[in-house]
Amino acid sequence: MKKIGIMGGTFNPIHMGHLLLAQWAMDFQKLEEIWFIPTGCSYMKENSDNITALERLQMTGLAVNNNPFMKVLDLEVKREGYTYTYETMEELHNRYPEYHFYFIFGADCLFSIEKWKFPERIFANCSIIAAVRENCDLSLMKNKIEELRAQYQADIVLLPFLQLEISSTMIRERVAMGQSIRYLVPDEVISYIEEKGFYGYESK
Ligand code: NAP
């Protein structure tokens, strides 16, 4: 069975933390490809910066298109209304029954995923790769995994990951303050942000 990693995210914008996480997960679980799926309209996040889902999709594409093992899917961006992970994983599972999917996220999500819509339908259609930052409480994570296993038959692996203090919020703030985001974001994405004037970018 072909093993595919799924990186879902708002990606506003995508940054090196996301890309490194994808690469780490690929090596760790011997995944053949990573598919990035930018969220459409998320009921959990407000869009206050006038960047459209299509533009986030575009930025994500620019970040990964030079890697033959990574690609970007527009299925959430094209979906009407709010997008939910269970729908995405069901759609992928039905469309590609011969593939095994691994949804990748930061391990803190293990403590919120039960509040996502229909978590049982997420666990039924994919395994989870949960990235653990260096200073997190591992025994707490392991207990939570046991709980999710017992309740949902969830298949979850912990991926030891780096403590990288990079976030999309930090990128947006640096752009707004006129600071460089070089080495935090791929160059192609920086050019796109500058060309579009996102996050209050002003050319000097
Ligand atoms: P995001 O902020 O764009 O980040 C995407 C992923 O990258 C997250 O798992 C995040 O983990 C991780 N990440 C970001 N920076 C990192 C760093 N420096 N080091 C390690 N990991 C890093 O995405 P998001 O808006 O949270 O959404 C994630 C996915 O969850 C999306 O597919 C979304 O649709 C899904 N979701 C679904 C529901 C639902 O179905 N009801 C609800 C909520 C989320 P951390 O968050 O730990 O940083």
Q: Could you report the per-residue pLDDT of 114-153, keeping only the tens digit for each?
A: 999 999 999 999 999 999 988 888 899 999 999 999 999 9
C-beta of 18 in contact with ligand 1 (< 6 A): yes
Give the residue, out of 11, 12, 18, 112, with the most ligand 1 atoms within 8 A of its beta carbon, to mutate for a pocket test: 18
Task: Return the closest-CA partner of residue 36 out of 52, 53, 14.
Answer: 14
For the chain, percent of residues with pLDDT exceeding 70: 96
Structural domain boundaries of the chain? Answer: 2-163
C-beta of 131 in contact with ligand 1 (< 6 A): yes
C-beta of 108 in contact with ligand 1 (< 6 A): yes
Cα 136 from Cα 76, distance rounded (Å)? 31
pTM: 0.95
Q: Which fold has domain 2-163?
A: Rossmann fold (3.40.50)
- Closest Cα to atom 20, ligand 1: which residue? 17
C-beta of 39 in contact with ligand 1 (< 6 A): yes
Strand arrangement, sheet containing 70-72 = 70-72, 33-38, 2-9, 99-106, 127-132, 156-160
Residue 20: the pLDDT is 98
Task: Return the closest-CA partner of residue 126 out of 103, 148, 108.
Answer: 103
C-beta of 117 in contact with ligand 1 (< 6 A): yes
Q: How many residues are recorded in the chain? A: 204
Of 48-52, 153-157, 195-199, minimum mean pLDDT range: 48-52
